[in-house]
Amino acid sequence: MVCKHCGTENPEEAVFCMTCGERVDGKVHCPVCGALNPAEATFCIQCGGRMDNKRVCPECGTLNEAGVNFCLGCGHAFEKPRAQKSARSRETSREGGRTLADWFRLFGGIGVMAAAFFALVFTFCIGITTRAESLFSAETETDFLYVYFGGRYKTLASALKGAGEGAGYMKFALYFPTVLGTLVAAGGLVSVIALSAVAAVRYARALMQRDGKTNFFRPAVAAYAVFVAAATAIRALNGTSDGTSTISLNGATVAGIVLGAVFLVAGTVLNLLPEGKELLTRKKLTLLISAAVGGVFFVLIFALAPMGIGAVESGDSVTASTASTASLMATIGSLYYSMGFGSYGSTSVDAPIGQAIVYALSQLFQLAVITLALFAFIKLFADLTSEKAKSPLRLVIPLVVCAAGYLAMTVTFGALFNSYLETDVKFGYAAPAVLFVFSVLQLARVIAEKLLCKKFGQ
């Protein structure tokens, strides 16, 4: 942290410069009410008092230097200013009572840390629930993310034990998302644990120092966002929903996502309230409205990302109403069987290498969209309480590119399938297409925000 007054390099958590004693962020306190103001302010944003403490004579309008008791123009006697506790003493004192802003920050921090806590707890509960219905019964089965640490591999090895030589593509289509799932599960667990620990340490330090710093905010938001992204990715790597079966996130995962979202939003709002009238400036209102719109877009992106290719139709029958990219080969396997190419896993018909490459690319683009949306989501929330916010274009532009790549690969996959088997199977691409549209809208939001802030002179 470089002091804006003397240029001294200070520790990252420093509030005041260790060389000159001034605030390292350059902000100054109003001599009248003690509120923090930007260094360039002439009048206080809270009380309207002059920041240079000069006094305007109410009789003749003469501007007098600070500290004078009588007007230099007409001799009018000024009221003696009330003795006030120094602004720095109020900010750093640990014996005095908390201000209203302190209480807002305290409960705001509790809300954000609660979101990180829910992420930590419910990450261990991430699972996929499969509900299979028949005419006379319904069966429900839940697989937790731990299945990627051994159980899924045993199941695949057992299922493909008697597969013939023509099943190479099928093995690739089943093992490829399983390996990706292992990486997602391991990375999600480690990341959430590490980020939650960092946030807890920083929050404890902020409570002890009572300096108003929110450097715990970013790792806490990141912990929750990684939890949501991991759950989304695990869902994207699993199963197909059709007329007889439904695959969804289990109840514990959904509960963690909802609880974390409620506390994260509440904590963010409480952390913003101490800014007072600054929230009503055109720049801040622009950022808040843009963040609200961006948050809605990210919710929709996370909801659409796992869906993959939509309806898969062959003739008059619908084989799958929602096919994730990872499970599409299971659907295609059943189509192979219905077209007389042999049983699933032992067909002698092998798909071309081009189709396998396109399948792998579509899967990677899908996970890239989720990952980029994750980082952009973290930045969206963290920048609300940061004075060093930078444009998120460097994240949103790759997000649009990957969404376009995902849409292109899914369309290409369907075209190659029909070309290879000389069929006219209808694949629905609504989810990838809408995902791309929302990514473009996210880019438009960021550009509009940037232009409006520039227009307002920020």
Task: For residue 28, list its beta bridge partners.
Answer: 37
pTM reported for the whole predicted model: 0.69
Side chain identity at residue 215, one-letter code: N
Strand partners, 130: 141, 247
183 and 308 share one domain: yes
Whole-number Cα distances in Å, 105 to 35, 102, 219, 262, 277:
15, 5, 17, 17, 16
> What is the reported pLDDT for 297?
82
Looking at the fold, whether 381 and 446 belong to one and the same domain comes out as: yes
Count of helix runs (H) and strand runs (E) in the chain: 11, 12
Q: Are residues 329 and 442 in the same domain?
A: yes
- Degrees, nearest 5: CA angle 50-56-59: 155
Same domain, yes or no: 84 and 194: no
Q: Name residues whose C-beta falls within 8 Å of residue 138's C-beta, 6 or more positions apart in sequence.
A: 131, 132
- Report the C-alpha gap between 384 and 381 in whole angstroms: 6
Q: Hey, which bits of 375-415 come out as E strands?
A: none
Output the pLDDT for position 244: 62
The closest of 15, 399, 380 to 214, measured between CA atoms, is: 15
User: Which of 348, 393, 352 shows the shortest CA–CA distance to 375?
Assistant: 393
Both 143 and 266 in one domain: the answer is yes
Q: DSSP secondary structure string, 273-325?
A: GGGGGGGGSHHHHHHHHHHHHHHHHHHHHHHHTTT-B--EEETTEEEESEE-G
Per-residue model confidence (pLDDT) at position 337: 40
Q: How many domains does the chain have?
A: 2
Q: What DSSP string describes 81-147?
A: PPP---HHHHHH-SSSPPPHHHHHHHHHHHHHHHHHHHHHHHHTT-EEEEEEE-SS-EEEEEEEGGG
Number of Cβ within 10 Å of residue 211's Cβ equals: 16
Which helix (DSSP H) or strand (DSSP E) does residue 248 occupy?
A: strand 245-249
Cβ of 94: how many Cβ atoms within 10 Å?
A: 7
- Among residues 97, 125, 156, the one where a domain terminates is 97
Q: Give the residues of the chain that fall short of pLDDT 50.
A: 82-96, 317-320, 333-350, 458
Burial of 130 (0-12, 13-18, 19+ CB in 10 A): middle
Specify whether 362 is located in the same domain as 436: yes
192 with 60, same domain: the answer is: no
Residues 275 and 247 placed together within one structural domain of the fold: yes
Same domain, 82 and 203: no
- My answer on whether 252 and 377 are in the same domain is yes
Phi, psi (degrees; rounded to nearest 5) at 150: 155, -45
Tokens describing residue 251: 């109840």
Beta partners for residue 309, in sequence order? 323
Of 97, 115, 137, which marks where a domain is finished? 97
In this structure, the answer to whether residues 104 and 93 fall within a common structural domain is no
As a whole number of angstroms, the distance between CA 145 and CA 337 comes to: 31
Same-domain status, 92 and 104: no
CA-to-CA separations, 334 to 134, 187, 385, 451, in angstroms, rounded: 19, 33, 52, 52
Give the domain extent around 14.
1-97
Of 97, 124, 157, the domain-final residue = 97
Q: What is the pLDDT of residue 191?
A: 94
pLDDT digit string, tens, across residues 195-237: 999 999 988 888 776 555 567 888 998 999 999 999 988 888 8
